[in-house]
Amino acid sequence: MKTFVYAAAVSITATTTFAAGHGMAPMVDAADQTVANGVVSASSVIAPANGWMVVHRTDADMKPGPVVGYAPLREGENTDVAAILQEDVATGDMLMLMVHGEDGGMSTGVFEYTLGAKEDGPIKIDDKLVMKVITAQ
């Protein structure tokens, strides 16, 4: 009897976690902002799994360029995600905030992506990157 009760509790927990993580469409919500404090932030990010918000340089072509920052994400909703910029970003520069996974590298919890690599690479939903482009003010 004791074993049965334990099994039922585990089952309910697993179902709840699945619903919370997969019920919301992955997205990045961020606005144009000053980055004078050395940080770029997103007001809300929904991630399908634990991973990273990666900050790429970009331009009018909207292609992801070099990585200039990253911040950890939890599965589900993240609010006020802040990434420290690794180099100066000037007023008018465009940045692409993108959801990346935590898969394929050597270490969990260590950001191992470099541009074009598979390790901790970008996630895709319906073959599209999950990202938002902002301009530094």
Q: 35 or 99, CB closer to Cu ion?
A: 99
Output the CA–CA distances (angstroms, integers) from residue 10 to 14, 19, 21, 42, 65, in the order listed: 6, 15, 17, 34, 44
Binding site for Cu ion (CB under 5 A): 54, 64, 98, 122
CB of 14 to Cu ion, least distance (A): 30
Q: 35 or 121, CB closer to Cu ion?
A: 121
- Angle CA 72–68–52, to nearest 5: 20
CB of 112 to Cu ion, least distance (A): 13
CB of 50 to Cu ion, least distance (A): 16
Which tokens sit at 50? 């634990």
Q: 35 or 64, CB closer to Cu ion?
A: 64
- Measured from each CB, the residue nearest to Cu ion is 98
Neighbours of 46 (CB within 10 A): 19
